[in-house]
Amino acid sequence: MRLKGKTALITGAGSGMGRVATSLFVAEGANVVATDISSVGLADTEALIARDHPEAVGRVQSLTGDVTDAADVERWVKMGVDHFGALNILYNNAGIFPDDDRSVINTDEDTWAKTLDVNLKGVMLCCKYAIPEMQRAGGGSVVNVASFVALVGCTVPQDAYTASKGAVLALTKSLAVQFGPDGVRVNAICPGPILTPLLADLFPSEEEKMKRLNRIPLGRFGLPEDIAYAALYLASDESSWMTGTQFVVDGGITVNYF
């Protein structure tokens, strides 16, 4: 088991990539502090764990709260450490992609502020409270979720999201330099387009879907599992000489010139 004896805090664990990562991490032996703003989503994640990994039920602690609320984040970290004894991994997965996030010329300030609040401030707060616990534990791994749109421009703009994810990459590098001497590694994953109901709704026709797929050399959209396995590698000791990286998992879309 690649994470046996380690404790991970995963944000956005109540759905999508966070739920898949929670299931994968417990299957690999980790204790998981599963956090989300949705109690219903966390209950569904717990049900998935109970079904697929009944032996691991006692290794999951589900806590609701908001990544933009410092008191909630501090509580998550404290309760996780009190319950499991230490914190070794932070997976900053929570994020939003608002429908009304477009170009800077037609995105309202509230949408801009909310997007950066969740996608950037949330990462900052989780690192603020989790990294000192990793230092006390003798080291650890922070995995931040950025995006491929932080690396390339897009003809269909989502500028608040793009700006927030670009900032996550910059913050990742800064934290890697600061805390590397303490054995705390900080890396970012840059997912390409992941097939979710939200993504599927963006395609008004099969022709439009295929037009987007033609940009991806591997010929398919990503799955939540593709990102969860990347996070598992970065969380594990197998990546012990990696820090400050942007780990691109995108089917090749960012290297496709045409």
**Which tens digits make up the pLDDT trace of 180-229?**
999 999 999 999 999 876 666 666 676 777 777 888 999 999 999 999 99
Query: Could you say which of 161, 229, 233, 257 is catalytic?
Result: 161
> 39-48, 83-92, 148-157: which has the minimum mean pLDDT?
148-157
- pLDDT value, residue 54: 96
When computed from its CA atoms, the radius of gyration of the chain, rounded to whole angstroms, is: 18
User: Considering the entire predicted model, what is its pTM?
Assistant: 0.96
- What CATH architecture applies to the domain 7-197+223-249? 3-Layer(aba) Sandwich (3.40)
Domains of the chain, residue spans: 7-197+223-249
Are 134 and 176 contacting, i.e. CB atoms less than 8 angstroms apart? no
Please give the backbone phi and psi of residue 113, each rounded to the nearest 5 degrees, phi first.
Answer: -65, -45
Catalytic site includes residue 161: yes
Q: What is the mean pLDDT of residues 47-65?
A: 97
DSSP letters, 121-142, are IHHHHHHHHHHHHHHHTT-EEE
pLDDT interval class at 154 (50, 70, 90): confident
- In order of 38, 63, 123, 216, the CA distances from 10 in angstroms are 14, 10, 11, 29
